[in-house]
Amino acid sequence: MSNCVKTKIYKGSIKLEKFKDNSIKEKLPAIVKKSEFINVFFYFLISILYLELIVKHRVSNNIINGDLLYLLIFSIPVVIILTTISKLFNKKINKVVTSILLLGICFFYGFHYFFYKILSIPFSFSTIGLVNQAIDFSNIVIDELSRSWYMIFILFLPFIIFLFINKKVNCERIYKKDIINFLIIFMISSLLSYLCLLPQDNRNLYYHTDDSVAIINKFGIATYSRVDMTRQIKGYQTILMPEEPMAKMEDNRIWI
């Protein structure tokens, strides 16, 4: 009799332990999700906007203007691609992939920043010869990098911060609903990009004007690099901007 009671109590305790374990397992995803409160999409977006503004300030000495909206719109497709790549595998691998992508992004913007600082022109695939010249003057490059060590730290800050807060960043594998959401955002951003190019000045600048500084100032360094690569592959036709009409005096009246 006592053995039966003990057995029942024993079985009951086993069932109780199983119930407790199941309740913990049910709550675990919510706990993990709560601890990883930083969305990797927004981390990429903030990092790219941060680096764009640094390079933009180097090239044009101007950060805050009406072109920030263009910068945001044209950056979103790049962010979606990076986010998709960083969510293809399991969480541990995704965090490694995210750190590698961030390191590559920081190096990309750092290269453009110091190229302009040393040679006073934006990098273009048509200026690869100047890169060889810069390598010949490696002492000057090394000296500039050593004097601007703090800028290297500032430019690689998104990567450095991620190393410390990666446990707070959600890098879960992408799901079907995420793919649908990304496709919707991508289509909306592409439509907004098309609308941004409807004004004639913007369209000429994007497709025909040979003014790299103006393109960077308007659309950002990532868009400029894509435009530059497309032009080198497909070629482009330069359109000269019309001159401003001059006022002339005739019969005591001003004609424009």
Distance CA 175, CA 72 (A): 25
Kindly list the distances between the CA atom of residue 129 and the CA atoms of 108, 124, 126, 216, in Å, as whole numbers in the listed order: 19, 10, 8, 21
Instruction: Tell me the per-residue pLDDT of 184-224, one tens digit each, with 9 for 90 and over.
Output: 888 998 899 889 888 988 888 888 888 888 889 889 999 99
In three-state secondary structure terms, 219 is helix
Which ranges of 61-197 would DSSP assign to H, the alpha helix? 68-85, 91-119, 128-136, 138-147, 149-155, 157-165, 176-196
- Averaged pLDDT score across all residues of the chain: 79
pLDDT over threshold 90, residue 112: yes
Is this prediction's pTM over 0.85? no
CA-atom Rg of the chain in angstroms? 27
pLDDT over threshold 50, residue 247: no
**Contact criterion met (CB below 8 Å) for 94 and 43:** no
pLDDT over threshold 70, residue 106: yes
Q: Tokens 């995210």 appear where?
A: 98
At 113 the pLDDT is: 93
pLDDT over threshold 80, residue 70: yes
Kindly list the distances between the CA atom of residue 53 and the CA atoms of 57, 120, 144, 216, in Å, as whole numbers in the listed order: 6, 17, 21, 10
Nearest residue to 55 (alpha-carbon basis) of 216, 194, 168, 203 = 216
Top pLDDT among 174 and 20 is at 174
At 98 the pLDDT is: 96
pLDDT over threshold 80, residue 75: yes
**16 class by beta-carbon count within 10 Å (0-12 exposed, 13-18 middle, 19+ buried):** exposed
Q: Tokens 């003057």 appear where?
A: 137
> Residues of 202-241 as b/e, b for ≥16 C-beta within 10 angstroms?
bebbbeebeebeebbbbbbbbbbbebbeebeeeeeeeeee
* Average pLDDT for 169-186: 84
